[in-house]
Amino acid sequence: MPAFLSTADPGFAADFAALLAAKREAAPDVQAEVARIIEAVRTRGDEALIDLTRRFDRLELTAGTLALARDEIAAAAGRVAPEDRAALELAAARIRAYHERQRPSDASWTDATGATLGWRWTAVDTAGLYVPGGTAAYPSSVLMNAIPARVAGVGRLVMCVPAPDGTVNPLVLVAATLAGVDEVFRIGGAQAIAAMAYGTATVPAVDKIVGPGNAWVAAAKRQVFGQVGIDTIAGPSEVLILADAGNDPDWVALDLLAQAEHDASAQAILITDDAGFGRAVAEAVAARLGTLPRGAIAGASWAAHGAVITVRDWAEAVALADRIAPEHLEILTADPEALAARIRHAGAIFLGPWTPEAIGDYAGGPNHVLPTARAARFASGLSVIDFLKRTTLARMTPGALAAIGPAAERLAAAEGLQAHGLSLRARLERLNRLPPDPAGGGPAT
């Protein structure tokens, strides 16, 4: 059974704090092993990749077969049902259209001193995408990670996907083609992250690595950060639903289970202003669990980490939601927009009963790579911005330097950085020897 809490109970504050503090993921300590794998790939390159792939994926490769050939990808695509391809195409088009609106603009202006200031945006040259592989299929992850990179203008996009016993899911390869991935390598785990971070004779080094993975992949991303950029270290999935009694309990139950079935560490929480409705949803969850192929996983998640919280009013619900800072937030109330406007911390918000979180996982348009474990307090979901760098621009005229240079010189002296001050003083002294500019604005050049 999930936890049943009520803000009217005397012990609610302590119970809610315990819910927030509960550790939901017991990741194995793999740091030392991952460090050895990274060092092996960094020093031995393709040879290490071949050895590690044989060891972990039971697949014999050569330097020439680390990458999937175009005819292999095409053959795999031919095994995909037309209906599945059409669904991927629709999702890709919607994701691309949404992310194209995220492209920021360059800016430039001249201030009152005559200084020209601004910024410009440029994409990283090469990005790497990690995709879990084998019998599991995550084509939606390919689209969500690769399409923003392409929209941003990344010049080269490479993908690593493990192929245990030689198996790569065809849907993943179709998604890679639709998203514009340039090269696909059949390597996985920490060794794939190391290869993309440092490069080998066959696998190009990238500037940023994105995509989900297991504990070894997460540890490797932590260890190579700084050599390359990374998106995030994602934790177990989570959903918070704010729902009143005007909803169908079964629909709400299904939305909770849609997160719980991810894994036993996932979390699904319902906040409602009607205790009877909360009990009805819990009963619907129990009824549905026996019908799901992943019911054992969902049941373990619901029992260990699920919660039904009854509040006295929606102001309490908003305050609790902001403390939870959920990855996914569904608002199923009479006026969801009004309630959403009061929420400060959430990775993604889904408004109204016809917008289940599951639509956002696949074809809604916004990205499904979102901050977990309360990181929505300070982080955002993956976007075009993650593949761009902002470079600032500044150009001083003689008049501008004359106006603001003395202040900079004073600050350099205050910090004890003599050369900084002298670099300014040399120019200011030159300006002092110049005749005034007849047009105004300081000394003439």
Spatial CB neighbours of 169, under 8 Å, sequence gap ≥ 6 = 133, 134, 135, 136, 137, 139
Query: 38-46: long-range contacts at Cβ-Cβ below 8 A with a sequence spacing of 24 or more?
Result: 38/190, 38/193, 38/194, 38/197, 38/198, 38/220, 38/223, 38/224, 40/191, 40/194, 41/191, 41/194, 41/195, 41/198, 41/200, 42/194, 42/198, 45/200, 45/201, 45/202, 46/200, 46/201, 46/202, 46/203
Helix (H), strand (E) at residue 238: strand 238-243
Confirm if 281 and 313 have CB atoms less than 8 A apart: no
The residue from 327, 330, 357, 409 that is catalytic is 327
The residue from 99, 305, 328, 368 that is catalytic is 328
Helices marked H in 310-417 — which ranges?
314-324, 336-340, 357-362, 398-414
Would you report the helix, strand and coil content of the chain in percent, each value rounded to 5?
50, 15, 35
Q: In 251-283, which positions are buried (b, 16+ CB within 10 angstroms) versus exposed (e)?
A: bbbbbbbbbbbbbbbbbbbbbbbbbebbebbbe
Provide the pairing of β-strand 107-110 with 348-351.
unpaired
Whether 327 sits among the annotated catalytic residues: the reply is yes
Whether 25 sits among the annotated catalytic residues: the reply is no
Residues with a known catalytic role:
327-328
